[in-house]
Structure 1
Amino acid sequence: MARRGKAAELAKDAKAHFGVAAPNSPTVVQASDATLIWSGPDQFFVLSTGGKHTTQMLAPAFSGSASLSDQSHARVLINISGDKVRTMLAKLSSIDLHPTAFPVGAAAATSMDHTSVTLWRGADRADGLAEFNVLVFATFAESLWHTMLDSAAEYGVAIAHSEELAQRL
């Protein structure tokens, strides 16, 4: 999160460190080894695998422009796809997920079934199916997960392990 009056400096530091401009609107930006997810004005999440961007590693690059907070164990990432994914998500959220309203790279800080989440649309899978990601506080993840399973039950559900997702991020 940018420190007061340091939004432009944060953007400059993000560009220098990640090689891409940080998201300044509800979008997701893909860097070579991290995903930057807009989470509010002048703030974003850094999602990476293998501890490449720990708070300690980022601190020198952002010491003057941002306040950092490690969220590694505070949130759970749920990745969803399928031919009925929009219909299932529509049961839980008021966001318009039509491809013209919520294209690849769109993000939203919203709620699903009364639970605060960060939702974004990932790149379509190789089979053409849309892919969505939900970042939710760990304490609410199990409840939301079961609600999602209930909402998707009529369409069928297949669950993959997180290691498979980590290889794609």
Structure 2
Amino acid sequence: MAEAAAIRPAWAPQGAWADILAAGRHGAAGGGAGLTVTPLEGFGLALVLADRDPGAGGAAAVLQGLHGAAPPRRPRLSTGTLFDLVAIGPGRWLAVSADRAIAATLAAALGSHGAVSDQSDGLALVRLAGPAVRSVLAKGCPVDLHRQAFAVGAAAATMIGHVNTTLWRRPDRGADPVFELAVTRSMAGSLGDWLLASAAADGCAITEPAGPG
């Protein structure tokens, strides 16, 4: 028994993109990368469903008190100090936070005014940027991502490469647009393969994972 215990493999938590998005240059090697991919790890994620009562003490009011701004009622990103909110449907938001315990915080604050599901280990987050990011995404995303149609702060629940995806736009990095995507962790491999294939002609640079802060 002691010998069996000694050779038993040690289990350790892995990021959602481990063995999927390997840091380095992929696809076309000449010139600057058209797409930069940054896996995001260590964030707290929570799905919030509001109750049906829109009264003064309802979920929207509670979220506004915690968030510092009224939660968006249409597909949009709203940034806050404790967490960001991405509206993904009527009375439905995805909370993104540097605090891994954000789901518990929201559940305690909302009480009977809403339901909270911890998605910190259920969803995979990734950031995409670069001069070719729109053209790469257009190969598998039906949403019009032109800067006039999809401004900074816009969000959408859509499909990318046949993968259900929540997508939102962050402030530009210089002249390059920046998008963040959330997919179920079980589909991270499919999305990762699609990104590498779609960005091959433009060159794709995958960075080391980035965490909160």
TM-score, length-scaled by structure 1: 0.91
CA–CA distance in structure 2, aligned partners of residues 120 and 136 of structure 1: 12
CA distance in 2, matches of 1:74, 1:58: 17
Output the amino acid matched with 1:48: S
CA distance in 1, matches of 2:69, 2:115: 19
Per-residue CA shift, 1:131-160, capped at 9, x if unaligned? 011100000011111101110011111112
Distance of 1:12 and 1:158 partners within structure 2: 42
Cα deviation 1:32-76 (Å, max 9, x = unaligned)? 1311111111110110114252x2222221113111100111110
Q: Write the deviation string for residues 84-122 of structure 1: whole angstroms up to 9, x where unpaired.
A: 100000001110000000000000001111111101111
Query: What SS class does the counterpart of residue 64 from structure 1 fall into?
Result: helix
Where has structure 1 moved over 6 Å in runs of 4 or more? Answer: none
Name 1:160's counterpart in structure 2.
Answer: 207
The number of aligned residues is 164
The amino acid across from 1:151 in the alignment is S
1:8-157 pair list within 5 angstroms: 9-51=58-100, 53=102, 55-125=103-173, 127-157=174-204
**5+ unaligned residues in a row in structure 2: which ranges?**
1-48
Q: Which amino acid aligns with 2:124?
A: V
What is the Cα deviation at residue 6 of structure 1?
A: 4.2
Matched residue SS, 1:155: coil
RMSD after superposition: 1.4
Give distance in 1, aligned partners of 2:105 and 2:147: 36
Which protein, 1 or 2, shows the higher relative CO under an 8 Å CA cutoff with sep ≥ 6? 2
Give the conservation status (yes or no) of the 8 Å contact 2:134–2:145.
yes
Taking the aligned partners of 2:212 and 2:127, their CA distance within structure 1 comes to 11
Q: 1:116 to 1:98 in 2, by over 3 A?
A: same
User: Quick one: which amino acid aligns to residue 146 of structure 1?
Assistant: D
Could you list the runs of 5+ residues in structure 1 that have no partner in the other structure? none
Tell me, yes or no, if the aligned pair for 1:6 and 1:66 is still in contact at 8 Å. Answer: no
The letter of the residue matching 1:17 is: L
More helix as a share of residues: 1
Q: Give the C-alpha shift of residue 7 in structure 1.
A: 7.2
What amino acid sits opposite 1:134 in the alignment? L
Deviation for aligned residue 1:4: 2.6
Higher strand share: 2
Distance in 2, matches of 1:28 and 1:56, equals 21
Instruction: Using the aligned pairs only, state the percent identity.
Output: 35
Secondary structure at the aligned position of 1:68 is classed as: strand
